[in-house]
């Protein structure tokens, strides 16, 4: 809920629905099993901070980011990305689908007394989401939910915050950033260089008949903790978020390490594998888990290039699944990026098809029950390599990009902007664990 203090800091001055400015297909769009495993009221909230060029005074804020320009660009962008202008519906069997009716995306303009310095020590939180991202009414019926919501907030220093909420049943982060690239290019008149999204989701249909997946395939691929609440009774609020930065030198240090089992495996360790193994290790230490306890690292993984044939590069939808690595805590503390690499290697076309078939034959309640995380589990989702900082609306690239809100037990990896080759780790934990986690995070021994 938005507090009265939040309302004092941000004032809404305009609110409307922006529809596509050309006729778009009026159709019902089938959603894949990877889409419908998400809750229909779950959104990915992302914020972008834009700082005006030197010499721009506060009075020029709306010239720096013109409402008219952004609103017109949104209407144009929603033509090829027309599913985001629709609403949810159901087919004859009650299955969720998109009613591509062109009703439009929610567009909000606001002013705030805050300055860009608010982002110097930014922490993803419900409070920050409520400030900068439109929040859907929790009582609103599913068919009335806008699938995209955008808020432009003019700060008192002349900077601008773009806050977006993408419905996760409709798109994943890969598609979120594709949309933002398109919106920015159209806003500055470069519509010809915008790659069109591939709307066809039937590429992810289950086989007919669905093949019964093995227990290992079914259990290893279907943990989506965004769909969960707080699942372990041993963990209690308050929960706190933080963003911890790793330099390129620190990442290289992690990548050069090998696990304490003295493995002879000499294959290169990726940045994701090294940083995820480090997060897993530090989490187990911070939680004080017994060395003989089993722990899971769950990770999101893109499937676009892992399917045979590959999905189109600009496939528009949910093109990711989950994998997991499991080990005793004593092994995790020994640093085991190789275990993560092995788990990633299992996510191939057969693995993905087995998961899609599993979702086809399993009722939703059973799927949700199978997604439970325990006190010894942690999830890492990666935005590494995604064009997070490419949304230049003619005013320069964003100075800061982040999820607006965190979720317990989830770490999000994102590249740092500009020439900085480091990465940022946004994570939410309970207060006690977080203090211990931060204390141990920069210990690379």
| Share above pLDDT 90 across residues of the chain, in percent, rounded to a whole number | 77
pLDDT for 213 equals 58
Domain edges within the chain: 4-204, 215-441
Q: Which helix (H) or strand (E) holds 342?
A: helix 337-345
What is the model's pLDDT at position 305? 96
Reported as a single tens digit per residue, the pLDDT across 389-430 is 999 999 899 999 999 999 999 999 999 998 888 999 999 999
Q: Packing angle between helix 248-256 and helix 271-287, nearest 10 degrees?
A: 80
Quickly state the pLDDT bin for 238 (edges 50, 70, 90). confident
Q: Is the pLDDT of residue 118 over 80?
A: yes
CATH superfamily placement of domain 4-204: Chloramphenicol acetyltransferase-like domain (3.30.559.10)
Could you say which architecture CATH assigns to the domain 215-441?
A: 2-Layer Sandwich (3.30)
* For range 65-80, the mean pLDDT: 96
Half-sphere exposure of 113 (CA within 13 A, CB side): 5
Task: Exactly one of 6, 41, 390, 392 is catalytic; name it.
Answer: 392
Residue located via tokens 């608010």: 118
Per-residue pLDDT, averaged over 286-310, amounts to 96
Q: Mean pLDDT across the stretch 267-280?
A: 94
DSSP string over 67-129: HHHHHHHHHHHTTTTGGGGSEEEE-TT--EEEE-----EEEEEEEES--GGGGTT----HHHH
Rounded distance between C-alpha atoms, residue 43 and residue 34, angstroms? 15
**4-204 and 215-441: same fold?**
yes
The verdict on whether 168 is a catalytic residue reads yes
**Selected catalytic residue, list 35, 118, 168, 178:** 168
Q: What is the mean pLDDT of residues 187-213?
A: 89
Which helix (H) or strand (E) is 300 found in, with range? strand 294-302
Question: Active site includes 363?
Answer: no
Helix (H, G, I), strand (E, B) or coil at 317: coil
List the one residue out of 220, 340, 345, 214 whose CA is nearest residue 272.
340
Global pTM value:
0.91
Range from 141-150, 217-226, 274-283, 309-318 carrying the lowest mean pLDDT: 217-226
Sheet strands side by side (includes 377-382): 239-246, 423-430, 410-415, 377-382, 294-302, 320-328
């Amino acid at each position: 809920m938005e507090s009265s203090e939040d309302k004092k800091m941000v004032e809404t001055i305009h609110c409307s629905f922006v529809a596509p400015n050309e006729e778009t297909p009026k159709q019902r769009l089938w959603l894949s099993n990877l889409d419908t495993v998400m809750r229909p009221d779950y959104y990915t909230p992302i914020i972008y901070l834009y700082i005006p060029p030197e010499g721009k005074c506060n009075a020029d804020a709306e010239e720096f980011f013109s409402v008219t320009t952004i609103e017109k660009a949104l209407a144009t962008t929603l033509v090829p990305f027309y599913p985001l202008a629709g609403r949810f519906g159901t087919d004859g069997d009650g299955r969720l689908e998109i009613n591509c009716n062109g009703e439009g995306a929610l567009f909000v303009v606001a002013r705030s007394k805050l300055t860009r310095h608010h982002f110097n020590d930014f922490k993803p939180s419900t409070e920050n989401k409520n400030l900068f991202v439109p929040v859907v009414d929790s009582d609103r019926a599913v068919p009335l939910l806008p699938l995209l919501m955008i808020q432009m907030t003019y700060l008192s220093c002349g900077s601008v915050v773009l806050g977006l909420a993408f419905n996760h049943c409709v798109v994943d982060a890969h598609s979120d950033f594709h949309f933002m690239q398109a919106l920015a290019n159209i806003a500055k008149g470069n519509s010809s260089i915008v790659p069109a999204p591939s709307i066809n989701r039937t590429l992810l249909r289950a086989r007919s008949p669905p093949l019964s997946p093995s227990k290992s395939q079914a259990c290893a691929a279907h943990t989506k903790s965004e769909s969960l609440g707080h699942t372990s009774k041993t963990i209690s609020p308050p929960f706190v978020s933080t963003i911890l930065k790793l330099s390129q030198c620190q990442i290289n240090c992690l990548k050069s390490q090998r696990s304490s089992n003295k493995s002879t495996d000499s294959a290169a360790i990726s940045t994701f594998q090294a940083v995820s193994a480090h997060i897993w290790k530090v989490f187990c230490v911070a939680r004080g888990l017994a060395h003989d306890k089993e722990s899971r690292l769950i990770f999101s993984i893109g499937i676009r290039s892992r399917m045979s044939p590959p999905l189109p590069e600009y496939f528009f939808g949910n093109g990711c699944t989950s994998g997991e690595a499991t080990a005793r805590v004593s092994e995790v503390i020994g640093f085991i990026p190789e275990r993560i690499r092995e788990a990633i290697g299992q996510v191939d076309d057969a693995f993905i098809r087995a998961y899609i078939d599993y979702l086809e034959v399993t009722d939703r309640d059973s799927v949700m029950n199978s997604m439970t995380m325990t006190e010894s589990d942690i999830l890492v989702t990666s935005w590494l390599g995604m064009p997070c900082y490419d949304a230049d609306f003619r005013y320069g690239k964003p100075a800061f990009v982040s999820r607006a809100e965190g979720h317990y037990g989830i770490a999000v990896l994102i590249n740092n902007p500009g020439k900085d080759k480091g990465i940022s780790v946004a994570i939410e934990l309970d207060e006690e664990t977080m203090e211990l986690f931060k204390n141990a995070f920069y210990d690379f021994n």
